[in-house]
Amino acid sequence: SDLQKQEERGQLLQPLIFVLLVLCSILLYFKVSLMDPGFVKPEEEESEDKGQGVVISQIPGDIKLRRCGYCLVKQPMRAKHCQLCQHCVRRYDHHCPWLENCVGERNHPLFIVYLSVQLVVLLWGGHVAWSGLYFEQSREWLQHNIFLLVSFLLIFIFTIVVLLLLVSHLYLISCNTTTWEFMSHHRISYLRHSELDNPFDQGIILNLRRFFC
C-alpha cells in the first residue's frame, strides 16, 4: 500500500517526530504550569536557618533574612513574594501569565526545556507553512492560500517572542541571576549593598552546571 511505501522511504518518520515534539511541548507546558515552583513553607524555617550557613563573601554580613509581610514566612535569600500566587517563591524569576504560575527554583530548568522544544516546533511549523506557499499575483491564489499566509505570520511572531525569551533567560542563567534581580537590582538589599554587581556569579560553566544539574 501507499503507507507501506512511504514508511519504507522514511517519509512517515518526520511527521511522527513532529507530532511527538508537539505532544512533548504540551506535556511540558502542563508540567511547568502545575508544579510547585519552589514555594517557601513555614515548616521549613529551621532547616532554612541551617542551610544559610553558606555565605557569599561579597555580600555584607549585616544583611539578614527578613520575614515576609504577606505570608509571614522567613524568606531565604533570592526569594520573593508573588502576590498573584500568594506565596514566597525560592529563587524567584518571574510570574508567567501564559503559564499562570511562577517560574522559580524548581520549575525554571523545565521552563527552559519547554521554551527550547517550543522553538523547535515553531521553526518546523514555519518551514512547513512556507514550503506550501507558491506566490502568484492573483485574487484566486490569495483566497486559496490565505490560511497558510496567516499561519506563517502567526508562527513567525511567536517564534520571535519565544526566541527572545530563550536567549534572554540563557544569558541570565549564564550570569547566575534572575529576571527579578536583573530588573530590580537597585531595590534588592543583598545586591544594592554588595561589593560586586552580581555576587552569585561563579563563571559561565559553573553557573550552567549548578542551574541544570
- Rounded to whole angstroms, the Cα distance separating 29 from 98 reads 9
For position 63, what pLDDT does the model report? 56
Q: What is the pLDDT of residues 144-190, one digit of tens each?
A: 777 888 888 999 999 999 999 999 999 999 999 999 999 998 888 88
Report the alpha-carbon distance of residue 37 to residue 179 in Å, rounded.
15
Q: What are the pLDDT digits (tens) for 199-211?
A: 899 999 999 999 9
Query: What is the identity of the amino acid at 151?
Result: S
What are the helix and strand counts (H, E) for the chain? Answer: 8, 4
Give the pLDDT confidence score for residue 70 in this predicted structure. 87
Q: Is 96 known to be catalytic?
A: yes
What is the distance between the alpha carbons of residues 84 and 194, in angstroms, rounded to a whole number?
29
- Choose, from 24, 88, 96, 175, the residue flagged as catalytic: 96
Enter the pTM of the model: 0.83
d(CA 135, CA 63): 64
- Domain definitions of the chain by residue range: 2-36+101-212
pLDDT tens sequence across 8-61: 555 678 888 999 999 999 999 999 999 999 999 886 665 555 455 444 545 555
Which 3 state secondary structure label does DSSP give 94? strand
- What is the DSSP-derived secondary structure letter of residue 42? G
Joined together, the cell numbers standing for residue 32 give 511547568
**Which pLDDT does position 36 carry in this prediction?**
95
State mean pLDDT over 90-95.
96
